[in-house]
Amino acid sequence: MSRRSWRSSKGVVTTPLHERRDLIAAISLLVLLLIAFPVLGSILGNWFAPNLATARIATQTPTISPTARPTETDTPEPTLTATATATETLTPIARPTSTPTPTPPATPLARLYLIPFRQVFAVGQSQPLTSTPVLLYENGSDVFYIVGQQSNFVRLQTLDGRMNFWTRAENTSATPPQAPQYDFTVRGKTARLGVTDGLACLHEGNLIPPLSPCQPLSSFSTATLTARITSGFTTALYLAEINGRAYFLTPASAVFVP
């Protein structure tokens, strides 16, 4: 028989008492451990879980791949083109100021009067062409600008600039000329024309300025006189009626009055 068991008086094998106590203690400890392990595991799990997650995140260092460079076949990046829409504020550069030189006023054109019943020609022409048609100026109250001069001719222009013509310088006056004088003692007389050279100028009362178109006196044979006109000291002419229309016959010496 071994040391750890013996037979009783009745022939039954029994275990010593101290060995049974050790067995009971071991079983109790095992039971306690089985009970304590879940509780301890829950506590440790609550404590280790955040730290373990932090440790995993810290240990998992991300691998950064190098940025791929575009190759020749890649789509090129858009090119920015500078335009003139910049809103940059430019500071003006101070420039030296200078006193502007005043423009001298234009010299006013000289003015002249045209003596009544004087001949003008070359209307609208830049040269005093004597071969152009002749007109007779009837009044003496109009003022004209002097816009040209050549030899003994002057070029006159109306104040509104609509008309210009040439005349002899002796036909003008710097002061208002005297009004012409009319002698009606010849009214009703018949005069013969075409004997000598002269002009018959049709009276046009509504022209401004009053310029009468002229034609050779020899175009008519007779005329009925209305008045003899004197303008200045040397000029004399007749106002007559031809074919029911009024004409100025000039010079008076070209008209034969019986």
CATH number at residue 117: 2.30.30
Which candidate, 114, 100, 117, places its Cα nearest to that of 164?
A: 114
Same domain membership, residue 188 and residue 250: yes
Looking at the domain assignment, is residue 115 inside a domain? yes
User: What total number of domains does the chain contain?
Assistant: 2
Q: How far is CA 74 from CA 71, 80, 109, 225, in A?
A: 5, 18, 81, 111
The whole-angstrom separation of Cα 147 and Cα 126 is 10
Task: Catalogue the long-range contacts made by 128-135 (C-beta closer than 8 Å, 24 or more residues apart).
Answer: 128/153, 128/155, 128/166, 129/166, 133/213, 133/214, 134/199, 134/201, 134/214, 135/165, 135/201, 135/211, 135/212, 135/213, 135/214
DSSP secondary structure letter of residue 235 = E
In a domain, 121, yes or no: yes
pLDDT(1) > 60? no
Tens of pLDDT, residues 148-163: 999 999 999 999 999 9
- Identify whether 48 is part of a domain: no
Supply the pLDDT for residue 10. 47
**How is residue 10 annotated by DSSP?**
T
Last residue of a domain, one of 157, 173, 189: 173
- The residue-averaged pLDDT of 45-68 equals 52
Query: pTM score > 0.75 for this model?
Result: no
- 101 has which bridge partners? none
My answer on whether 213 and 249 are in the same domain is yes
- 157 contacts: CB under 8 Å, gap ≥ 6: 144, 145, 147, 163, 164
Residue 9 pLDDT level (bands cut at 50, 70, 90): very low
pLDDT tens digits for range 101-145 = 666 667 788 999 999 999 999 999 999 998 999 999 998 789 999
| In-domain check, residue 233 | yes
Q: Do 161 and 220 reside in the same domain of the chain?
A: no
Cα 243 to Cα 41, 156, 199: the distances in Å are: 150, 33, 16
- Give the domain extent around 137: 111-173
Task: Give me the percent of the chain exceeding a pLDDT of 70.
Answer: 64
Co-location of 186 and 140 in the same domain: no
